[in-house]
Amino acid sequence: MSNKERPVLLLTCSGISHTGQLTALTGHSLRCRHPALVTRHLQLTALKHSLEREMEDDECLIVVDGCEECCAKKRMDLIGKIPDAYLIATREGITKRGMEEPRYDEIECLCQAVVRIIRNDSGNEEEREIP
C-alpha cells in the first residue's frame, strides 16, 4: 500500500485555548468536507481509549498542534510514535488569542495547510519535517 492509499488519521491537540479550539474545528471541518481524504479525526482531549489503542499501524498519522506548547507532539513522544507529518497552527500565520473563538478564515487557513500535507503538493519541505 503506497502512502497515497493509506487512510489518514488526523490527531489534533484540541485544547481549550483559541488555537486548541481551532485545531478541533479544523479536524471536524476536514472530516466532514473531505471524508475520503481524512478517514479519522481524534482529539487528544477527548480520547475514548489510550492513545496507543486508538492508533492503527496502517494509517498515515498527521498531528496538528495549535501552538508552540506542542501538547500532541509531546504525547506522541511519550509513546514513541513518530507522525508522518506534523503541523503547528501558529507557524501557519495564526496568532494565539487567549480564549477568543477561532475565526472562519483561520479554520480555512489551517484546513488548507493540512490538505497540502495530505496531497503532498506543498513544496515546503519544512512543513512536512518533524521538529
Query: Considering only the top CATH level, what class is 3-128?
Result: alpha beta
**How far is it, in rounded angstroms, from Cα 73 to Cα 49?**
18
pLDDT, residue 4, reads: 64
pLDDT, residue 58, reads: 87
27 neighbors 41 (Cβ within 8 angstroms) = yes
Burial of 45: CB neighbours in 10 Å, binned 0-12, 13-18, 19+: middle
What tens digit of pLDDT does each residue of 1-34 get? 445 678 999 999 998 999 999 999 999 999 999 9
pLDDT, residue 121, reads: 47
DSSP 123: -
pLDDT, residue 39, reads: 94
**How far is it, in rounded angstroms, from Cα 98 to Cα 61?**
28
Domain ranges in the chain are 3-128
- pTM for this model (two decimals): 0.86
Q: Angle 63-64-65 (CA atoms, 0-180°, nearest 5)? A: 120
Listed as ranges, residues in the chain with pLDDT below 50 are 1-2, 121-131
